[in-house]
Amino acid sequence: MVKEVSYAKFDATIEAHLNLGIDPRKADQQVRGTVALPNGTGKNVRVLVLAESVGQKNALEAGADYVGLDDLIEKIQGGWFEFDATIATTLVMRKVGRLGRLLGPRGLMPSPKAGTVVPEEDVGRAVGELKGGRVEFRLDRTSNIHVTIGKSSFTKEALYQNFSALMEAIVTARPSAAKGQYIHSITLAPTMGAGIKVDQVRASQLRTS
């Protein structure tokens, strides 16, 4: 149904919006993780890799869009943010750390929890996963999670599969300290168009297999 409510004349992005019944101010009630959407997001993800020689070679072979280190750090410090995801190797995080105040607020700071801080030998795999549709979900300050699950051009089955994968990952990421109702509401909405409410109880039971 969410495909039909989009009135955009372009291939609209479909997003899932969840409100959780937990307190993001508490350290033991954080929800964050990644999930590989089986049908991708429909978006060309521009991946930037910060690494030294071996990591750079692996990144280029895997199809990363921007690869470098000091040169890219300087560009970012100058206000350049024409990329969608950042990967850094563990060897260069001391240098990359100075970009936290610039990349953090934009959701672009590499993180071990998000699988974007990796050893040099794993750079290729990380690039492939991001290009293939791995997305990060993270609870914001208002207890909400917003994640792209596809495009309006996707088949209903493809959107259903992506949404099921997301729900399984979010349910699995439930903090042990969370009490009471975990998911308060779920809305699926296109870039332009009305949102569709989803039964959170049934959605919480979705699995990819």
Q: Where in the chain is the domain with CATH 3.40.50.790?
A: 47-132
* In the block, residue with structure tokens 């979705």: 206
Distance in angstroms (rounded) separating the CA atoms of residues 57 and 207: 37
Model pTM greater than 0.85? no
Q: Evaluate whether the domain defined by 13-42+134-203 bears CATH number 3.30.190.20.
A: yes
Angstrom CA distances, 16 to 30, 116, 126, 170, stand at 19, 23, 24, 12
CATH pick for 47-132 out of 3.40.50.720, 3.40.50.360, 3.40.50.790, 3.10.105.10: 3.40.50.790
Return the pLDDT at 192.
81
Distance in angstroms (rounded) separating the CA atoms of residues 32 and 16: 15
What residues of the chain score a pLDDT lower than 50?
none
Task: Tell me the pLDDT tens digit for each residue of 161-209.
Answer: 999 999 999 999 999 998 999 999 999 999 888 899 999 989 999 887 6
Q: Retrieve residue 179's tokens.
A: 């009490």
Q: Give the 3-state secondary structure of residue 70.
A: helix
One-letter identity of residue 132: G
Return the pLDDT at 194.
84
- Enclosing H/E stretch for 125: helix 123-132
Return the pLDDT at 2.
58
Return the pLDDT at 1.
53
Return the pLDDT at 49.
99
